[in-house]
Chains A and B, each alone.
Chain A
Amino acid sequence: MVRKILSTRSPIKTLEKNIKGGLGPGHLGVFASRKGVGKTACLVQIALDRLFEEKPVIHVSYASRVDYIISWYEEIFKNLASRENLKSEMDIHDRIIRNRVILNFRQEGMKTEQVLKSIEALLGPGRFAARTIIVDGFNFYLPCAEDLALFKKFAADRQLEFWFSCSLKGEDPLFDENGVPFVLKDYLENIDIIITLEHDNGRVRLNLVKDHEQIFSKKLRLELDPQTLLLARVG
């Protein structure tokens, strides 16, 4: 029911149309921007899109507290429910919780092998059939070529899609001439999709800078509403 209502008009579907039908199993995607622009909001909406279709999602985070992540979901869900005028909101909410597991790690000293082992534990013996993994707060500023290779291999082996957030820091310029963040340039072979977020006249616009094999800068017809942090189509 919810699936029908939301899927057809979901901005996530617009996003996926732009990237050849979606990220797809075996691939890694990244939302990159400076802190506080809206990466987590985008990740949570991708997760909610899957959850509305009753597809389980694992949300990996490196935050210090789990309640912070839960409140992100609550907030975005509340805004979505009111925008879409959802009926039997509580039922849907319950189902969402049922299909979402948050795995929280402390980044310092936490090895990617360990993160993947935990995901594996949840998928295997835990019988939690997630296909989408959200990874929020991974530090791309530490040397991580090997880690990304591990994520990529794991994604391919288990047929999963991984959506990351990448927090950009330091002085401008942060992007090369194609709009690719400098910090991600060394990892392009393992990252399939890169979307950057930028402020544009009080709105937050999304740019697609890597689409599988192609590297180019394309303004997506999507933006984040600064009030609700919900993705919406432009025009």
Chain B
Amino acid sequence: MNRTLERMRNIGISAHIDSGKTTLTERILYYCKKIHRMHEVKGKEGGGATMDYMELERERGITITSATTNVTWNDHSINIIDTPGHVDFTIEVERSLRVLDGAILVLCSVGGVQSQTLTVDKQLKRYNVPTVAFINKLDRIGANPFKVKDQINDKLGRRAALLQVPVGLEDKFQGLVDLISMKAYYFDGPNGEIIREKEIPPELEDLAWQYREELLDTVSLFSDEVTEAILEDRVSEGLLLRAIRKGTISREFTPILMGSAYRNKGVQLLLDAVVNYLPDPSEVENIALDLDQQEKPVVLKADPSLPCVSYAFKLEEGPYGQLTYIRIYQGSLKKGDELFNTRSRQRFKVGRVVRMHADHMEDIEGAESGDIVALFGVDCASGDTICSPELNYAMTSIYVPEPVISLAIEAADKLSVDRLAKALARFTKEDPTFRMYIDPESRQTIIQGMGELHLDVYVERMRREYRVEVITGRPQVAYRETITARADFDYTHKKQTGGAGQFGRVIGYIEPFDGNYEFVNEVKGGHIPREFIPSCDKGFQSLLKKGQLIGSPIIGVRVVLTDGQFHPVDSSDIAFQMAAQGAFKQAYKKAKPQILEPIMRVVVETPSEFSGNVFGSLNQRRGIIISSIEDGLYSRIEAEVPLSEMFGYSTVLRSMTQGKAEFTMEFLKYGRLPNFLADQLMEEHRQKMESEQKK
């Protein structure tokens, strides 16, 4: 076993907003001697917590982008990846979860398992992340860690048990009893940095033994060794520790710790738990795909002597240039090494390698497998795999969905124009689901993304980080047009205006097609000379960008060119392009065109008592309910709903279910827009065109 690896942890801290995640992170940094003074969230002292470094996050008290920072605890190197808890920032969350090996799930001792806890818990389960739970805020009025423990078992369906019980609660919260060592711990000094070990207070003995028994019972469910030891009455501290570690890594067990980060109590014991129970990088299996062997899966070995395989999970445009955060899965890298980006096929030399600490950094010579570091000046996109040049691997790529909603934006004043361009350039590079383009007709800047909130956050970030006041239009759904019948065309483009004329004739048909576009050339006998065939293709394609119904892109068309005619002098590239355009216009109307709308796959998780209301709300939105899976307390309802009906759904869902339900949605397919809505859209488009013409 590699000693460096054994002493490495890559962890995330997942939590409900307001459960005290940022304060906890701050305390971890302090006890690991990364910072010398503690701040509070929401900038009471004008400082703001260290991890939450973006101004917007500071103001809202939430973390949106993931920063990573490295700390040392008990001779172990811990990389903390800050994971956003909000459902709408999926790509951020998924990328962070991809690179971590373990997580701390923070819960509030008063609020317990809240709806958002369910979301982050689901994310952790989806990525098979071993987890320790931390019940925070034991100093608050109404704190009840025992209730929260039951909720972790019942609502999250985890097999979990307390590893500690509190000494006092609420304003009398003083310390913790450790149920493994059966000792009490107190946290002295101005910042709780001095740990005092004492005997268990007599009044807590019964309680402590009761919960130790519960812990042993739970552990014995998955550990035969512990079961035997209980029967023989020889449960040692080491045995229990090993069993808990094994159960946590195999995700059969979730140890529960507790404390109050704000009152500086319990954080050091939590750090001990991270080291004791969460896996080191070699204990987690990672798989890459070998691009030279038809994407054959290859198990990566966390061995520094092997060729390097790493994954760029986050890009950040900092004050000193572009930073690329990478997780090294195999091999090692150092300054001056040559590496290879398997997506862009580009080789590059490693320049500066840094270890990140929120927003300051430390230069290092190199790093080995298992580690998370940042590189300077690497031209790549997030999600890229970076290898030694002799390898051609890709880490399983994260699926990047097509954007489904767009918004026109413009800078409110001339001074902001440059800053807006800078902001957009950075955001589009950081987040592949966020895109922008300039509409050639309206000259408007259009941003595209995965949902209302997704775009809202970027507009907000432009304001705050780049001081750009932006004016936004109404969110627009990305409609498409398609044809539903075959239609023939026979079109001659002929122009004689003195000098060289233009002549081209095309004959053929268009028909529905299962992909986006296909061009088939069946012209025989040289009726259209070979060099003009691509001109025809180009002409047809140029009209696909804007359909005649509502000006949306056309998909699902096959054009078959069967015959044509040319003129030895007057035929040209442009003449055949024009002929193809004329032909397409002619045939399109006859091909029964239709408007398509994006249909989203919506999943609502709700307490079962509200499932009727949720069914109703989805039905009302032209949704099709596909299934509902119930496990007693909760229902998971899956439906297909048009995107245009989903605006504002989060508010509706919240009020309908007392804030207890949540939903996620992703693009599924394009579906036919019902006639009454299609008519409405066409009318709007006609009016828009008319008013533009008048201008």
A interface with B by C-beta (< 8 Å): 66, 70, 97-98, 101-106, 109-110, 114, 117-118, 120-122, 124-128
* Contact residue among A98, A102, A128 (Cβ-Cβ distance under 8 Å from B627): A102
In contact, B613 and A101 (Cβ under 8 angstroms): no
Interchain nearest-CB distance for A27 vs B (Å): 25
In contact, A128 and B615 (Cβ under 8 angstroms): yes
Name the A residues within 8 Å of B608 (CB-CB): 114, 117-118
From known contacts A98-B624, A118-B635, A126-B625, infer whether A104 and B612 are also in contact, taking CB-CB under 8 Å. Answer: no
In contact, B612 and A125 (Cβ under 8 angstroms): yes
Residue B628 at the A interface, CB < 8 A?
yes
* Alpha-carbon gap, A34 to B626, bound state (A): 29
Interchain nearest-CB distance for A211 vs B (Å): 33
In contact, A127 and B619 (Cβ under 8 angstroms): yes
In contact, A102 and B619 (Cβ under 8 angstroms): no
Most chain A CB neighbours (cut-off 10 Å) among B630, B631, B635? B630
From known contacts A103-B630, A109-B632, A127-B619, infer whether A121 and B611 are also in contact, taking CB-CB under 8 Å. Answer: yes
In contact, B627 and A101 (Cβ under 8 angstroms): yes
* Alpha-carbon gap, A103 to B627, bound state (A): 6
In contact, A127 and B616 (Cβ under 8 angstroms): yes
Between A and B, 23 residue pairs with Cβ closer than 8 Å are A66-B629, A70-B626, A97-B624, A97-B626, A101-B628, A105-B631, A106-B630, A106-B631, A114-B608, A114-B632, A117-B608, A118-B608, A118-B628, A120-B612, A121-B612, A122-B611, A122-B615, A122-B628, A124-B612, A126-B625, A127-B619, A128-B619, A128-B625
* Alpha-carbon gap, A110 to B632, bound state (A): 6
In contact, B612 and A102 (Cβ under 8 angstroms): no
In contact, A125 and B615 (Cβ under 8 angstroms): yes
* Contact residue among B611, B624, B629 (Cβ-Cβ distance under 8 Å from A104): B629
Name the A residues within 8 Å of B619 (CB-CB): 126-128
What are the interface flags for B623-655 relative to A under an 8 Å C-beta threshold, 1 for contact and 0 otherwise? 011111111100100100000000000000000
Interchain nearest-CB distance for A5 vs B (Å): 22
Name the B residues within 8 Å of A125 (CB-CB): 612-613, 615-616
Name the A residues within 8 Å of B630 (CB-CB): 103-106, 110, 114, 118
In contact, B615 and A104 (Cβ under 8 angstroms): no
In contact, A126 and B626 (Cβ under 8 angstroms): no
Name the A residues within 8 Å of B624 (CB-CB): 97-98
Name the residue of chain A whose CB is nearest to the CB of B627. A102
* Alpha-carbon gap, A124 to B612, bound state (A): 7
From known contacts A110-B632, A114-B632, infer whether A121 and B627 are also in contact, taking CB-CB under 8 Å. Answer: no
Interchain nearest-CB distance for A140 vs B (Å): 21
Name the residue of chain A whose CB is nearest to the CB of B636. A104
Name the A residues within 8 Å of B629 (CB-CB): 66, 104-105
Most chain B CB neighbours (cut-off 10 Å) among A114, A120, A126? A126
* Alpha-carbon gap, A18 to B630, bound state (A): 36
Interchain nearest-CB distance for A89 vs B (Å): 14
The tally of residues in B whose CB lies under 8 Å from a CB in A reads 18
Name the residue of chain B whose CB is nearest to the CB of A103. B628
Sample of 12 further A-B pairs with CB below 8 A, known A98-B624, A102-B626, A122-B615:
A66-B629, A97-B626, A101-B628, A102-B628, A103-B628, A106-B630, A106-B631, A114-B632, A118-B611, A121-B611, A122-B628, A126-B625
Name the B residues within 8 Å of A70 (CB-CB): 626-627
In contact, A104 and B616 (Cβ under 8 angstroms): no
* Alpha-carbon gap, A198 to B118, bound state (A): 47
Residues from 368 to 420 in B contacting A, C-beta threshold 8 Å? none
In contact, B631 and A66 (Cβ under 8 angstroms): no
Name the B residues within 8 Å of A122 (CB-CB): 611-612, 615, 625, 628
Name the B residues within 8 Å of A126 (CB-CB): 612, 615-616, 619, 625
From known contacts A122-B612, A127-B619, infer whether A101 and B625 are also in contact, taking CB-CB under 8 Å. Answer: yes
* Alpha-carbon gap, A127 to B624, bound state (A): 12
* Alpha-carbon gap, A109 to B154, bound state (A): 13
Most chain B CB neighbours (cut-off 10 Å) among A66, A105, A117, A125? A125
Name the A residues within 8 Å of B612 (CB-CB): 120-122, 124-126
* Alpha-carbon gap, A106 to B636, bound state (A): 12
Residues from 348 to 386 in B contacting A, C-beta threshold 8 Å? none
* Alpha-carbon gap, A122 to B635, bound state (A): 12
The 7 closest A-B pairs by CB, nearest first: A126-B615, A121-B612, A125-B612, A102-B627, A125-B616, A104-B629, A66-B627
Name the B residues within 8 Å of A128 (CB-CB): 615, 619, 625
Name the B residues within 8 Å of A102 (CB-CB): 626-628
* Alpha-carbon gap, A127 to B626, bound state (A): 15
Name the residue of chain B whose CB is nearest to the CB of A91. B672
Interchain nearest-CB distance for A73 vs B (Å): 11
In contact, A101 and B632 (Cβ under 8 angstroms): no
* Alpha-carbon gap, A140 to B626, bound state (A): 27
* Alpha-carbon gap, A103 to B619, bound state (A): 16
Interchain nearest-CB distance for A97 vs B (Å): 6
Residues from 100 to 151 in B contacting A, C-beta threshold 8 Å? none
Residues from 211 to 255 in B contacting A, C-beta threshold 8 Å? none
* Alpha-carbon gap, A191 to B628, bound state (A): 27
Name the A residues within 8 Å of B635 (CB-CB): 118
Name the residue of chain A whose CB is nearest to the CB of B615. A126
Most chain B CB neighbours (cut-off 10 Å) among A98, A121, A122, A127? A121
Name the A residues within 8 Å of B616 (CB-CB): 125-127
Name the residue of chain B whose CB is nearest to the CB of A64. B629
Name the B residues within 8 Å of A120 (CB-CB): 612
* Alpha-carbon gap, A97 to B635, bound state (A): 20
Name the residue of chain A whose CB is nearest to the CB of B631. A106
Interchain nearest-CB distance for B668 vs A (Å): 12
What are the interface flags for B595-630 relative to A under an 8 Å C-beta threshold, 1 for contact and 0 otherwise? 000000000000010011101100100001111111
Interchain nearest-CB distance for B619 vs A (Å): 5
Name the residue of chain A whose CB is nearest to the CB of B618. A126
* Alpha-carbon gap, A124 to B608, bound state (A): 15
Name the A residues within 8 Å of B628 (CB-CB): 101-104, 118, 122
Name the B residues within 8 Å of A106 (CB-CB): 630-632
* Alpha-carbon gap, A98 to B632, bound state (A): 26
* Alpha-carbon gap, A109 to B632, bound state (A): 8
